[in-house]
Amino acid sequence: GNDVVMHPTATERTPDSFMWADVIPLHAGKAGGNGHHAAPPATKARNLNMSAKLADTAIKSPQTQGQPWQGPIQLGSKMADHMVQVGYNAQHKVPWHWPVPAYLVTKGIAAGLFLLFGLGLLLDKVSWAGWLPAVTAIASVVFVGLTTGLLVLDLEKPERFIYILLRPQWRSWLARGAVVLISFSTVAGVWALLELLIALGVMGDGAMSTLRPIFLYAGAPVAIMVAVYTAFLFAQAEGRDLWQSPLLPIHLIVQALMAGAAALLIILLFVPDETMSSYAVTALVIGLIVDLFVTFLGEFGMPHASEVAARAAHDISHGHYRNHFWFGSFGIGHLLPLALLLLGTLLSGAMAPLAAVAGLLTIAGLYLYEYAFVMAPQEIQNS
Q: Is the pLDDT of residue 202 over 70?
A: yes
Minimum mean pLDDT among 15-24, 51-60, 326-335: which range?
Answer: 51-60
Q: What percent of the chain has pLDDT over 70?
A: 74
**Average confidence score pLDDT of the chain:** 82
Residues in contact with 148: Cβ distance below 8 Å, sequence separation at least 6, in sequence order: 181, 185
Q: How many CA atoms lie within 13 A of 138 on its CB side?
A: 12
Q: What is the mean pLDDT of residues 147-173?
A: 84
Q: What is the pLDDT, as a whole number, of residue 379?
A: 83
CA distance 281 to 49: 72
**Does the structure show a pLDDT above 80 at 158?**
no
**Which tens digits make up the pLDDT trace of 265-280?**
999 999 999 889 999 9
Strands (E), the chain: 30-31, 36-37
Beta bridge partners of 37: 30
pLDDT at position 52 is 46
Of the pLDDT bands very low, low, confident and very high (cuts 50, 70, 90), residue 5 is low
String of b and e for 334-347 (b: at least 16 CB within 10 Å)? bebbbebbeebeee
* 275 close to 127: Cβ distance less than 8 angstroms: yes
CATH no. for 99-308+316-378: 1.20.1630.10
The closest alpha carbon to 266, from 118, 146, 136, 123, belongs to 136
- Rounded Cα gap, residues 196 and 186, in angstroms: 15
- pLDDT of 48 higher than 60: no
Residue from 213, 195, 215 nearest 203 by CA: 195
| Residue 363 vs residue 300, higher pLDDT | 363
Range with the largest mean pLDDT of 43-52, 123-132, 359-368? 359-368
- pLDDT higher at 161 or 51: 161
- pLDDT number for residue 301: 72
List, for residues 159-171, the tens digit of each pLDDT value: 777 888 888 888 8
Q: DSSP code of 295?
A: I
CB neighbours of residue 162 within 10 Å: 9
> Measuring CA to CA, which residue among 288, 297, 231, 301 is closest to residue 254?
288
Mean pLDDT value of segment 126-135? 89
Name the pairing type of β-strands 36-37 and 30-31.
antiparallel
Note the pLDDT of residue 32: 47
State which amino acid sits at residue 208: M
Domain chopping of the chain, boundaries: 1-35+73-93, 99-308+316-378
pLDDT value of residue 88: 62
